[in-house]
Amino acid sequence: MKHLLDFEKPISDLQHKLSELREHTEGTELKVDFDDEIRRMEEEIDKKRSEIYANLTAWQRVQLARHPKRPYALDYISRSFSGFSELHGDRLFDDDRAIVAGFARLGDQKVMVIGTQKGRDTKENIMRNFGCAHPEGYRKAIRLMGLANRFGLPIITLIDTAGAYPGVAAEERHIAKAIAINLREMSLFSVPMIALVIGEGGSGGALGIGVCDRVLIMENAYYSVISPEGCASILWKDRSAAPQAAEALKITSHDLLELGLVDEVVPEPLGGAHHDHETVAGTVKDTLIRQLKELQTIDPEERLRQRYQKFRNIGEFIENPAAA
């Protein structure tokens, strides 16, 4: 099994034994019937697979969110949408290939779709900057969101980034300001807006295209203010404590739904979205169409009020009048 994760080894071992049994059956001249044994082993594999994926830890879900075969933004755009016409550039500096955006159709609805895009190999990852956008990427995104708003087109964003690019060049071109402007402007657009976290949802880099009426998340994606490794380095002074940090951060889809930070968890095929791109893309399409139809029944002013309140309500704090 290529790109095997450590917790998937028991499944791989059983599959290897099954392959050996089938090869032995086909290669022997003896009239021995192994059908019952093959069926028993297939049932054992199905049982083991269900058992493992039903009890994933937070860290194991992070590993699935980062799986190199997982569908990326362009995979969903090509399967869940139609008629995609990509647009480029921020009209100020450059075109950031870590952000893909353009007009498309979701069912029979014209939309603007925007996503963070990773690469499949080293060459593409360098071109896409590993899915970590520069300031010009966020400026491109907000420029096209503004265009969609003027034309009355709903906005769909697909989030899959470890975070905004933290390099010197990004700081020189004001990455923090670019993201801050996006947060402000996205809270003011009158059209329906949906964000879907399809893999990694890393900090401000994700939030920079994530202030929407509905925030959805794939079953094995995560959304967090910091990576588990970053958290472990700060709190435990040891990146190897990432599994412990992942549990403490409450970053999995079901944790986020329980905390009210996301509105819906989109189910994936057993084992993760990378096992069946077509099926998961169909599920995403149906979910986005349903959510969009619900949003379109809400008065625009009320939708704006709800969007603003949604993000204002995030977090808990205690005011101490005596300290004032």
Q: Show the CA angle centred on residue 51, arms to residues 285 and 57, nearest 5°.
A: 75
- Percent residues over pLDDT 90 in the chain: 77
Of 138 and 8, the structure prediction assigns the larger pLDDT to: 138
The phi and psi torsions of 252 (rounded to 5 degrees) equal -80, 165
Of 18 and 146, the structure prediction assigns the larger pLDDT to: 146
Listed range (12-21, 227-236, 237-246) with the worst mean pLDDT = 12-21
pLDDT of residue 309: 93
Name the band, by pLDDT with cuts 50, 70 and 90, for residue 323. low
Name the band, by pLDDT with cuts 50, 70 and 90, for residue 41. confident
pLDDT digits (tens, 9 = 90+) for 72-81: 999 999 999 9
87-110 average pLDDT score: 95
Residue 248, pLDDT above cutoff 80: yes
Kindly list the distances between the CA atom of residue 227 and the CA atoms of 109, 166, 251, in Å, as whole numbers in the listed order: 35, 14, 9
pLDDT of residue 132: 95
Q: If DSSP states are collapsed to H, E and C, what string results for the chain?
A: CCCCCHHHHHHHHHHHHHHHHHHHHHHCCCCCCCHHHHHHHHHHHHHHHHHHHCCCCHHHHHHHHCCCCCCCHHHHHHHHCEEEEECCCCCCCCCCCCEEEEEEEECCEEEEEEEECCCCCHHHHHHHHHHCCCHHHHHHHHHHHHHHHHHCCCEEEEEEECCCCCCHHHHHCCHHHHHHHHHHHHCCCCCCEEEEEEEEEEHHHHHCCCCCCEEEEECCCEEECCCHHHHHHHHCCCHHHHHHHHHHHCCEHHHHHHHCCCCEEECCCCCCHHHCHHHHHHHHHHHHHHHHHHHHCCCHHHHHHHHHHHHHCCCCCCCCHHHC
Name the band, by pLDDT with cuts 50, 70 and 90, for residue 174. very high
pTM for the whole thing?
Answer: 0.88
Residue 22, pLDDT above cutoff 80: no
pLDDT of residue 302: 97
Of 15 and 1, the structure prediction assigns the larger pLDDT to: 15
Name the band, by pLDDT with cuts 50, 70 and 90, for residue 59. very high
Nearest alpha-carbon partner for 165 in 154, 156, 174, 157: 174
Residue 32, pLDDT above cutoff 60: no
**Residue spans per domain, the chain:** 6-55, 62-312
Please name the CATH architecture into which domain 62-312 falls. Answer: Alpha-Beta Complex (3.90)
Residue 261, pLDDT above cutoff 60: yes
Nearest alpha-carbon partner for 219 in 251, 253, 249, 257: 253
Of 112 and 54, the structure prediction assigns the larger pLDDT to: 112
pLDDT of residue 28: 55
